[in-house]
Chain A
Amino acid sequence: MELKLGEKASLRQAFGEVLVELGEKDERIVVLTADLAGSTNTDLFAKRFPERFFNLGITEANMMALAAGLAMSGKKPFVSTFAIFAAGKPWEQVRQAIAYQSAPVRIVATHAGLTVGEDGASHQMLEDINNIRVLPNMDVIVPADAVETKRVIHALKDHDANPVYVRLARAPFPVVFDDSYEFEFGRAKVLRQGEEVTIFACGLMVHQALRAAEILAAQGISAEVVNVSTIKPLDLETVIDSVAKTGAAVTAEEHQVIGGLGSAIAEALGEHWPGRRASPLERVGVRDRFGQSGSAEALIEHYGLTPEGIAQAAIRALERKRRR
Chain B
Amino acid sequence: MTDDEKIIGYIENGIVIDHIPQGRVWQIVELLHLNDPMRYEGGIFSLGDGYESRKVGKKGILKVEGVSLRKNDIDLVALVAKEATISEIENGRIKQKYDAEIPEVLDGVVNCPNLNCITNDETQRVMSKIYSGDDLFMCHYCRSEFGEDKIKFLGGK
Partners in one complex: no
